[in-house]
Amino acid sequence: MRWTVTGALAVAQLTAREALRGRLWLPVVGAALIMAVVALRLDGVDAEARRKLSVALVVGSAGFIAHLLAVLVAAQGVRRDLEGRMALLLFAKPLPRFGYLLGRWLGGMAAVGAALAALAGIGLGIIAWRSDLPVSRSAIPADAWWRLTAAGAAEPIAAGQDLVQVSGAAGNGVRLRFGAMPDGDGEILLRAAVLGTEAAPVTQCAVRIDALDASGGARPLALAAGSPYGQASGDRPGVAVLRDHGEERRELDTDYVRVRVDAAARAADGSLTIRVTRLDSAAALRFAVADGALIAVESGGFALNLARATLAMLAAAAPLVAWTLVCACVSNLGVALLGGLTLLFTGSALPVLAETLAHEEAAAPLRRIFSVLSWIVPDFDRHHLAARLAATRAVEWAAVGDAALYYGAYAALFLGLAWWALATREVA
């Protein structure tokens, strides 16, 4: 163990030096320049769009360049040692082969981390230069949902059910409960798909939103100032208009009705129960259980959220470095680069592939192949970091932890494979 750690640290330092002196920082400089030039060209759009584009540009570019760098650093280091026969010297020393691989992996991660930190820092400056730094908010989903009939009967929504749809005569709706509201005043965010019929298409539906107390008493809730849509219908208290913004749009600032909740609306245990009642019989409402109703709370400054996103991106580089090490141990530089990039692009395309297969109702064998693929290949867009930050949604520590576990498991598996490949290889 001691030899593994000692050797790994020495090789990690060697890898970081190699990346620095091999001018692998040039792509980072190039990406920073491209970010600055593109940001300069964002004058033709309004401030809101400019902010979103700047954030998406910075986070997207940083992630892409860092992941490319991960493949380059890992492939180049190992292939240089094997093809340049430095491995003869290295493995004649008391350096365990796993220690060597661990060092290459750690050094690659250090290089990627440095690149990400540099790009995030430069990107933060670019965003601040082109627009105000946005305030990121965490969104907490409702704990429990019920479908309500017009007569007031409540049917709980089973766990695992993704959507809740209410239609038919007006007066029915949904009830939902948030287990723990944050202290002080807050906001509830609501969004739903508004469905009509082909004969009578509709895009909006009036609803009444009430807070319910323990005895079942209802108190109408008012819209928050600045709620982007859902203006109160006439002077009826608690009445808002839900408008259809399309299934894909989920930005907290623009695609949700924002309802103000004061401390008095909360129950003694800190929970909050609200009721949404349909007022239009012509429109059906379809809520997504995962994010149809959210509590939005401010979650640190943008810089902190960007830092957390950077950590999650760094975690995503872990399996890339490890997989490229596998490829570098079994074949030449070209194959190692191709292998690493294939994993990167396949893993980045997984969500699109899944959507396409679902949309096209693909044949069973194809779906099975995709199912296997989604197990083998890590999803590099698992946390939608660029989209989240651009939509002012926070990147919580939980996401960083999830990224570390998810990508860490793949990295451990790939490192094991790389070790097997190197341990069985003769250094001739």
Residue numbers at the binding site for other proteins (CB under 8 A):
2-3, 6-7, 9-10, 13-14, 17-18, 21-22, 84-86, 88-96, 426-428
Rounded least distance, CB 9 to other proteins, Å? 7
Name residue 316's beta-bridge partners: none
Would you say 10 or 110 has its CB closer to other proteins?
10
Tell me the backbone φ, ψ of residue 372, rounded to 5 degrees. Answer: -65, -45
Radius of gyration of the chain (CA): 26
For residue 24, give the amino acid letter: L
Q: How far is the CB of 104 from other proteins (least distance, A)?
A: 13
Nearer to other proteins, 14 or 293 (CB): 14
Nearer CB in complex with other proteins: 3/397:
3
Question: Which of 233/331 has CB closer to other proteins?
Answer: 331
Q: Which is nearer to other proteins, 332 or 374 (CB)?
A: 332
Strands 154-156 and 272-278: unpaired
From the CB of 27, what's the least distance to other proteins, in Å? 18
Name every residue whose Cβ is closer than 8 Å to that of residue 256 and which is 6 or more positions away in sequence.
189, 190, 191, 228, 250, 294
Provide the token pair at 258: 């924002």
Helix, coil or strand: residue 341:
helix
Give me the least distance between CB of 72 and other proteins, in Å please.
15
Alpha helices in 42-197, H assignment, sequence order: 47-83, 86-92, 97-130
Task: Pick the closer one to other proteins by CB: 7 or 63.
Answer: 7
**In whole angstroms, how close is the CB of 28 to other proteins at the nearest point?**
18
Handedness of CA 55, 57, 63, 69 (dihedral sign): negative
Which of 52, 104 has the CB closer to other proteins? 104
Write down the least CB distance from residue 252 to other proteins, Å.
48
Beta carbon of residue 13, minimum distance to other proteins (angstroms, whole number): 8
Closer Cβ to other proteins, 11 or 57, answer by number: 11
- Can you tell me the distance from the alpha carbon of 78 to that of 105, in angstroms, rounded to the nearest whole number? 10
* Angle between helices 97-130 and 2-21 in degrees, nearest 10: 40
Is 238 in a helix, a strand, or coil? coil
CB of 88 to other proteins, least distance (A): 5
- 405's tokens: 């576990």
Q: How far apart are CA 394 and CA 297, in angstroms?
A: 9
| Collapsed DSSP state (helix, strand, coil) of residue 72 | helix
211 has which bridge partners? 219, 274
- Taking the C-alpha atoms of residue 125 and residue 268, their distance in angstroms, rounded to an integer, is 45
